Amino acid sequence: MKHAAVIGIGSYLPERRLTNQDLEGMVETSDEWITTRTGIRERRLAEIDQATSDLATEAGRRAMADAGIEANDLDLLVVGTSSPDMIFPSTACITQANLGLTCPAYDVMAACTSFIFALQNATAAIESGRARTVMVIGADALTRHVDFSDRGTCILFGDGAGAFILQASDEPGVLGIELGSDGKGGDVLKIPAGGSALPATVERVEAGLHYVQMAGNEVFKFAVRVIPKATEAALAASGMAVSDLTWLVPHQANQRILNTVAERLGVPDERVVSNIELTGNTSAASIPLAVDDLYTNGSLHPGDVLALVGFGAGLTWGAAVVRWTKEVQ
């Protein structure tokens, strides 16, 4: 059986910054509260004329350049997102056209865990021999669904995109993936309107039902419970232990969540990747963005073992253990 290995990576953050000081002028909050409770100092917002596919396209272009591949080399594009440009066509199809690809393209929707679910699809396609080269993009413009008068949510989210190119290899790259869902927990994090249950109407929009609703405390407790479990399960499936990890890359949702899971897993703080201070929670983009930061900083080396761990609405969670095989540029 062939393995799936990462041969290229790229990411994109929009230019527009929204700082905690900016938020102080919008809702009753303070830089001090946001920094202490979340670790976030600023986040990026997509420009008014930028949709999720535009973020995905730029990250995809950068990953293709990094891998040194052409449009025709790709056999599949999977985009993980929960802020698609529109209900259909899929964001993957729009991105496919933007990049001049000819391969099949589809979206995977698992909220902030979308990148890990999409990675599973890509890995399975390669391992089964159905595809040789696959692009996986995590992209979200979740701030489009945030109520900027709700201080409980508007401080958290930012926009961005990150992409991996995976290719069939004799050398193991993606070692093990563990996914989970608990649909009974759907109420703690949701966007109630805009779908088939509550289609858009003036009344629903006026009631703000098209915005993110979140029970922050519940999500926090869920995250610190599932991240260690998923990480340990994916490590076990890979024949590895926590002590084998070079980098733990959790979904960037809250610095206090990162600190708590690091402590529970026994991973030293310096092995836990964090860029939340400058990005906020970029949903499906957060994990590939954090890995790309490591890569561009020169902190990733062939043989390094990474655990990529996501969680989000659904509820969903997922962890992937990846052996880095690509040389630093």
Residues that bind ligand COA (CB under 6 A): 29, 33-34, 37-38, 112, 151-152, 155-156, 214, 216-217, 219-220, 223, 253-254, 281, 312
If the CB atoms of residues 33 and 106 are measured against ligand COA, the closer one turns out to be: 33
**Among 3, 20, 254, 281, which one carries the catalytic annotation?**
281
Burial class (CB in 10 A: 0-12, 13-18, 19+), 149: exposed
- Pick the closest to residue 105 from 130, 137, 132, 127 (CA basis): 137
**Alpha carbon distance 106, 90 (integer Å):** 6
If the CB atoms of residues 89 and 180 are measured against ligand COA, the closer one turns out to be: 180
- Pick the closest to residue 10 from 98, 168, 110, 137 (CA basis): 137
Cβ 212 to ligand COA, closest distance in Å? Answer: 9
Residue with smallest beta-carbon separation from ligand COA: 216
Cβ 203 to ligand COA, closest distance in Å? Answer: 27
Cβ 149 to ligand COA, closest distance in Å? Answer: 11
Cβ proximity of 54 and 91 under 8 Å = no
Please confirm, yes or no, whether 251 is among the known catalytic residues. Answer: yes
Cβ 67 to ligand COA, closest distance in Å? Answer: 29
If the CB atoms of residues 34 and 177 are measured against ligand COA, the closer one turns out to be: 34
**Among 3, 93, 251, 254, which one carries the catalytic annotation?**
251
If the CB atoms of residues 112 and 168 are measured against ligand COA, the closer one turns out to be: 112
Please confirm, yes or no, whether 210 is among the known catalytic residues. Answer: no
Cβ proximity of 301 and 325 under 8 Å = no
Cβ proximity of 91 and 150 under 8 Å = no
Strand partners, 180: 317
Please confirm, yes or no, whether 145 is among the known catalytic residues. Answer: no
Cβ 70 to ligand COA, closest distance in Å? Answer: 35
If the CB atoms of residues 89 and 152 are measured against ligand COA, the closer one turns out to be: 152
Cα angle at 109 between 104 and 114, to 5 degrees? 95
**Among 112, 145, 154, 254, which one carries the catalytic annotation?**
112
Q: What are the catalytic residues?
A: 112, 251, 281
